[in-house]
Amino acid sequence: MNQFRYRLRRLDQTPYMTVGLIAVMVLVYLAMTLAGGSTNVNVLIEFGAKINVLIQQGQWWRLVTPVFLHIGFTHILLNMLTLYFVGMQLEAAFGHWRYLVIFLVAGIGGNVASFCFSDSLSAGASTAIFGLFGAFMMLGESFWQNPTIRSLARTFLAFVVMNLAFDVFTPGIDLAGHIGGLFAGFLTAYLVGVPRIGKVSAIKRVIATVVLVAGLVWLYLHGMAQ
């Protein structure tokens, strides 16, 4: 029994969601490479990149699938390195399933924002990764009295500001997707809570849920109406 409990504890401490997400994205990247290359527009469209006109025609899943696609080796390499180091910390803080919910909702939220404000083809886990940065911001706001969390939140806030500033002056970067993912992750972190660290007030969770749902619905409807 003690050995079984030890194994359960070890499994709980293993960031298997983060590793699993990375594995899925690497496999998808390899499949795209074999299909003709991850920078090939036709391959990107076939695998589910965000294309506004196709979403407007009813292919709503293109708000989800772009999270798992990447355009070129450098793109996936940088995203997977960032996901690994940030994801490990957040998965330990929120727990496996809450962490996965934050990642997926942030990714979808970023793609919905991109759908609303950008006509460009887009793909990549950056929307979800910015959502993880947003989750760190939530931790910093809710548990500011904790010096470790406060330090991490400040570090990631500075990182987010620098990245968004870089996005503004870099052509081809999906700024709307990054900002949308950031806010979606921030709000979703309140929604799921973080019992491993402490209690989040019920009023904050209700407000975050209402703002998140209303925001996603408005962005989606606005994008469909364009």
Please give the positions annotated as active site: 126, 178
Helices (H), the chain: 2-13, 16-35, 41-47, 52-56, 73-94, 96-117, 126-142, 147-168, 175-192, 202-225
* Residue in 207, 44, 190, 70 with CA at minimum distance from that of residue 126: 70
- Measured on CA atoms in the order 54, 55, 60, 65, is the torsion positive or negative? positive
Structure tokens at 148: 């470790």
In degrees, rounded to 5, the angle at the alpha carbon of residue 123 between the alpha carbons of residues 192 and 98 is: 15
- Measured on CA atoms in the order 185, 191, 196, 199, is the torsion positive or negative? positive
Structure tokens at 214: 């209303």
N residues, the chain: 226
DSSP code, position 199: P
DSSP code, position 118: -
